Homo-oligomer: A and B are copies of this chain.
Amino acid sequence: MTTREIILNRALELFNLRGIENVGIRELATDLNIRPGNITYYFPKKEDILVELGKQLSELNSATIVKLENPSMTDFMERYRQVFNNHYEYRCLFLSFVSQMQQNKKLSENYGKVEKSRLEDFRKILNKLVEAGYLDTSVTEDDIEQLVSFLSLVARFWISESTVSYKKLSKKQAINHYLNLIGFVFSKHATIIGKKQINSFLSGL
């Protein structure tokens, strides 16, 4: 492992553990038994570490969100379960979501691009779920926009809320909580078979 990778790995660990703002370059350096200026050599600004971690998360999600030909309702839920797991591994980014997006221009740019295409993907998936008879045909384009809005809100902030309000919950419990919420909202727009898949997915958590 290169020095650069060592720094990135340990930074992610410490950031997840104690928050990005609460872990200084000096502390990270001490922890790694190197000098602060050495970190600065690989990452001139602290921001640059987070840009890299953001890319890692993005790639991780790209790897899990493989495009399916004929997605089922189960596939859809399972996909979100995996995305949530990925998010958790990089939870420090979400816990400082707003401040990072405001301060870190590059991270913000990267996230903006990825998220845009990601939402587009989910829009398509939802349309396919309608075509395939998992979501009601009464679901309009406008409804799909609302569902996508809902999904993006949950995806962005579930970690923040669970950290603040559901501290006692384990990772799995927290993820299940928000999967249940998604299932709850979606089942109201699902067909009978769609509802069945949601319920069996949720009860299998």
Contact = CB atoms under 8 A, between A and B. Distances in A.
Nearest to A18: B102
A164 B188 CA distance: 29
Chain A's interface size range is 20 to 34
Tell me the number of copies of this protein: 2
B102 A19 contact: yes
A199 interface: no
A117 to B, nearest CB: 14
B99 A164 contact: no
Interface string A144-162: 0010011011101110110
Interface of A: 19, 21, 95-99, 101-102, 115, 143, 146, 149-150, 152-154, 156-158, 160-161, 163-165, 177, 180-181, 184-185, 188-189
